[in-house]
Amino acid sequence: MAATERIPVLMTPEEKSRIVIKARRAGMKTSQFMRVAAEQYQPGEDEKTLEAMIEQMNRSTERAERAIDAALDFVEQSNRRIDALLRSSGSR
């Protein structure tokens, strides 16, 4: 099947130069080299562990945000109750 889609990849001039040299040494066009390299890439155990840690951090952050929101709501409601009590007792 002919390649018809593009994925723009920004890189430094030095990175591009290294990739072009590797492609030439492999006897490939740069685009072919990039496709083959991307297809063969397999994340290592360290990367899998890091991805799992990031996912856990995201879940923990969501739980913490919900807990903070609930605490702020509780404080706001408590302040309203205190204000109402103070108004009804004539202290304010």
pLDDT in tens, 27-53: 999 999 999 999 988 877 788 888 899
pTM score, whole prediction: 0.46
The answer to whether position 1 is within a domain reads: no
Q: What's the pLDDT tens digit per position in 52-61?
A: 999 999 999 9
Report whether 22 contacts 34 (CB < 8 A): no
The answer to whether position 22 is within a domain reads: yes
For residue 52, the enclosing domain spans 45-92
Same-domain check for residues 90 and 52: yes
C-alpha–C-alpha distance, residues 4 and 14, integer Å:
27
**pLDDT for position 65:** 97
**pLDDT for position 10:** 94
The answer to whether position 7 is within a domain reads: no
How many domains does the chain contain in total?
2
Length of the chain: 92
Report whether 23 contacts 30 (CB < 8 A): yes
C-alpha–C-alpha distance, residues 57 and 46, integer Å:
16
